[in-house]
Amino acid sequence: MKEKLLSDLKGKVCVITGGGGVIGTAMARGIAEAGVIPVILDINEEAARKVADDIRADYNVKAFGYRANVLDRESLEAAKKSILKDVGEIDLLINGAGGNAPQATTKLEELTEDNLLQLDDGFFGLQLEGFQKVFDLNFMGTLLPTLVFTREMVERKKGAVLNISSMNSYKPLTKIPAYSAAKAAVNNFTEWLAVHFAKVGVRVNAIAPGFFLTNQNRFLLVDEKSGDLTGRGQKIIASTPMGKFGDPADLNGTVIYLLSDMSRFITGICIPVDGGYSAFGGV
């Protein structure tokens, strides 16, 4: 290989949905450092603009932020129009918008003979509306931006998509069935689309982050009053061989690798970035 590693990424335009969030911000900064022009989309316009402003100030590179709702095709098309006008053709897509919500979370981890009187604190008490919202955000919120932003990549026969999955896609965690089902669907869709696009130069891969303390899971992992880890937080640390939560910037090596030509013969995979969590049998 004669070309300089990662030189193919210089000046490429990458859309990042959910780019105003904790992990999205870290990825946007990571790819900006690698020479990519990040275009941050978020339902929270202020957050999207702030991430872009900070990147421009900190790295002296181009960066853009727009409002877009990943569940609304019209909103995505409007963002695309602005991007094509202000920035140029879109080369890369990271589907980062996602998350869990308390309305799609059971109170009980499992039913036992002792808690049979609390059936509504488990599966039977799940609010379907909350379930649907979380499923849609994570799955439809990956499918729709992919529909909107990859058409021209296919026409130009060049591009890469990176979906953000989760440990829950392999084995569901207790309490969060909608999130787990949606992330499993994201992995399946990653494989499906990778095959569909394989002969037209657009690669589709995913990463499965382990556990990173962010807004979406803080209520499950840290006690609001004491600031101590909850029992669930402690279990996660005990199940992560490296013994700690990840730092969102830990994802960037894998993100850059999967977006760049370094991984040009790779499509349809999901790489865990998890401090060993998915390799550990628990004993």
Catalytic residues: 179
Q: How far is the CB of 108 from ligand NAD (least distance, A)?
A: 22
Query: What's the longest Cα–Cα distance across the chain?
Result: 68
Q: Binding residues for ligand NAD, per CB under 6 A?
A: 17-18, 20-24, 42-44, 47, 68-71, 96-99, 137, 141, 164, 166, 209, 211-212, 214-217
Name the burial class of residue 191, with classes exposed (0-12), middle (13-18) and buried (19+) by CB atoms within 10 angstroms of its CB: middle
CB of 3 to ligand NAD, least distance (A): 31
| Chain center to CA of 60 | 26
- What is the Cα 206 distance to its own chain's centre? 8
The 3-state DSSP class for residue 272 equals: strand
SS3 content of the chain, % helix, strand, coil (to 5): 50, 15, 35
Beta carbon of residue 252, minimum distance to ligand NAD (angstroms, whole number): 13
In the complex, what is the shortest distance from the CB of residue 20 to ligand NAD, in angstroms, rounded to a whole number?
Answer: 4
For the bound state, the minimum distance from the C-beta of residue 192 to ligand NAD, rounded and expressed in Å, comes to: 19
* Structure token digits, residue 239: 């199940």
